[in-house]
Chain A
């Protein structure tokens, strides 16, 4: 599974993947202080998107994307997924 080269593409693909099936997608973040790098993975167990970085400027981007996905997960999605309205 290749690593994405640009953050933009990774973030867009990650959000898109999440919206296709919120229940299946998980986000994994691995931080190694001793090696000075972060690896982020978004997967639905069939598609796997990964991004690796050792740049301090990417920490903010990663943390923002994490927050965004977290908020998507706890919001009641009325546009994607089946919502039965009586």
Chain B
């Protein structure tokens, strides 16, 4: 699993979408992250980790390669804008509801 910076993650995600246009799927996972880097200690052992409340983990995979990034509250606005644009730009292979365009001249698909 490759951990990247937010910008590098978005670049790699674009590449994943482009790779999977003809075959395969892109899976994106989103999860709240409290910043722990060590496993959860067993019962009776002291918890030496201070939970951070402002991070989330974003992972993406095309089945073969995996990438991930951590987004904090400071970066979320920028990341979310770029991420939304990316999703909207690439998830375009879906059916469009064209109730109204029956009367108009249909453009070539």
Contacts and interface: CB of A to CB of B under 8 A. Distances in A.
Interface of A: 22-23, 25-34, 36-38, 53-60, 62-64, 66-67, 69-71, 73-77
B76 A31 contact: no
The 10 residue pairs across chains A and B that have the minimum distance between CB atoms: A73-B56, A73-B32, A26-B31, A74-B73, A27-B30, A56-B94, A32-B25, A33-B93, A29-B28, A63-B87
11 contacts: A26-B30, A33-B90, A34-B20, A34-B93, A55-B97, A58-B94, A62-B87, A66-B83, A66-B87, A71-B80, A74-B76
Contacts of B55: 73-74
Contact of B30 (A31, A37, A55, A69): A69
A28 B27 contact: yes
Contact of A27 (B21, B31, B79): B31
A25 B27 contact: no
Interface residues of B, number: 39
Interface in B70-106: 71-73, 76, 79-80, 83-84, 87-88, 90-97
A36 B92 CA distance: 8
Contact of A55 (B72, B83, B94): B94
User: Main SS of chain A's interface residues?
Assistant: mixed
Contacts of A54: 94-95
A23 B27 CA distance: 20
Nearest to A72: B32
B71 A31 contact: no
A67 to B, nearest CB: 5
